[in-house]
Amino acid sequence: MLNKAKLTELEKIREADGGLLFPESVVGKAADPRNPLHDEFPWNDAQAAHQCRLDIARRLIRSVTVVRIEEERTIQSVYYVHHPSQGTHVQGYVPLTELKRNRNDARSVLDFELARIEGAILRSRNIAAVLELDHYFEQMLKQVAQIRSKIKAA
């Protein structure tokens, strides 16, 4: 959560840009060491370049897909997924085909994916609540919880 000074600065940048917030404008303003957003960015070019390269590597890893053709449908999925043994702070990836051999790891990967779905639904519900359109989300949350329980028990 951003502190009030940083939120105020983002709002000033947004207003200066005609009501929309653009990442390029945020970086431009944050370059000033006196700006409250300055410490949020790596200003060492080597460090920033390394972070950019890591982002490119993550995008490259996510771009690999696997296709499975069944009788009446074709399934296309990511090929690499985060390996459950790596925890949440280490990014280590494994092919889905290897997870088929270890049911516990397979269940852990599915649980992680379902937790992401649950998080997206919660985020959407909160946005919808602010817009007073949130009455559709409780059933989705219940369904995700039921699926997670079934997979854990399988």
At 106-122, the pLDDT tens digits run 998 999 899 999 999 99
Task: State the pLDDT confidence band at 32, using cuts at 50, 70 and 90.
Answer: very high
- Joined together, the tokens standing for residue 24 give 């390029």
Q: What angle do CA 18, 22, 28 make, to 5 degrees?
A: 105
At residue 57, the pLDDT reads 94
4 vs 52: CA distance, rounded Å: 28
Q: Smallest Cα–Cα separation from 126: which of 112, 5, 118?
A: 118
Asked whether 30 and 38 are in contact (CB, 8 A), the reply is: yes
Q: What residue type is assigned to position 69 of the chain?
A: I
Domain ranges for the chain = 1-41, 42-78, 81-154
Asked whether residue 138 carries a pLDDT value surpassing 90, the answer given is no
At residue 36, the pLDDT reads 96
Task: State the pLDDT confidence band at 101, using cuts at 50, 70 and 90.
Answer: confident
- Joined together, the tokens standing for residue 95 give 């092919």
Q: What is the pTM of this model?
A: 0.69
109 vs 122: CA distance, rounded Å: 20
Share of the chain above pLDDT 90, in %: 54
72 vs 70: CA distance, rounded Å: 6
139 vs 51: CA distance, rounded Å: 39
Asked whether 37 and 11 are in contact (CB, 8 A), the reply is: no
pLDDT tens digits along 64-91:
888 888 888 898 998 898 887 877 777 7
